[in-house]
Amino acid sequence: AQSVTQPDIHITVSEGASLELRCNYSYGATPYLFWYVQSPGQGLQLLLKYFSGDTLVQGIKGFEAEFKRSQSSFNLRKPSVHWSDAAEYFCAVGDSNQFYFGTGTSLTVIP
Amino acid sequence: NAGVTQTPKFQVLKTGQSMTLQCAQDMNHEYMSWYRQDPGMGLRLIHYSVGAGITDQGEVPNGYNVSRSTTEDFPLRLLSAAPSQTSVYFCASSPVTGTPTLGQYFGPGTRLTVT
């Protein structure tokens, strides 16, 4: 069965520091992988996606993610975090017409 | 474009009451879906539709009904609300079906409390 694991429930980083959010997936075939961001009281916004090709994908707001098939991972990174990046981040895997989300990682940014 | 809209934003129901959560999109998307978001659970797919007249169950369909009579609208019905259905509900849409390469566009959510 498809599943997504985000092992970090909450992460705190200083503004300007680098960020890596972890995502591991379980999937039987080539996965379609996504990262979404949710600001408080808002819906989810797509940050980036991977479905084939270059394993390093660039997204909006300066985020990138790397697909590593051998590790079943799709970690999200940002070189320098801004205070406005504080939000909840969700990793998801798509299967034809169904999507499976991780439980999310809450990011706090301290000045 | 308004994107994906949901009404109402907030709703309180008593156990056993029924209601319909509305979802509409103006992007002519084929695919629409409903999720519930609960603390520590992430988003879980309730039902989805790949086009007008076609719906299917997701991960947690029990207690919910859907229909898709038009491309634009995808209402979610709770026939007899239960406290376990207290949650935040999100509607989402996507341009294509079968190959989810484009991700989904999410509505702002409906916060439902069942007492």
Least confident span in A88-97, A102-111, B30-39, B59-68: A88-97
The pLDDT tens digits of the residues spanning B59-107 come to 999 999 999 999 999 999 999 999 999 999 999 998 876 555 567 889 9
**Summary mean pLDDT of chain B:** 92
Return the pLDDT at B98. Answer: 58
Comparing CB atoms, the residue among B101, B104, B109 nearest residue A99 is B104
Per cent of chain B over pLDDT 70 is 93
Cβ within 8 Å, pair A44-B106:
yes
- pLDDT at position A68 is 93
Looking at chain B from residue 5 to 44, which residues have their Cβ under 8 Å from any Cβ of chain A?
31, 33, 35, 40-44
Contact (CB<8Å) B48/A97: yes
Residues 6+ apart with CB under 8 A from B66: B34, B46, B47, B49, B55, B74, B75, B76, B77
* Average pLDDT over every residue of A51-75: 92
For the stretch A18-29, pLDDT in tens is: 999 999 999 877
**Where do the DSSP E strands lie in B1-115?**
4-7, 10-13, 19-25, 31-38, 42-51, 54-57, 64-66, 76-78, 87-94, 105-106, 110-114
Residue B47's closest CA among B94, B104, B103, B91? B91
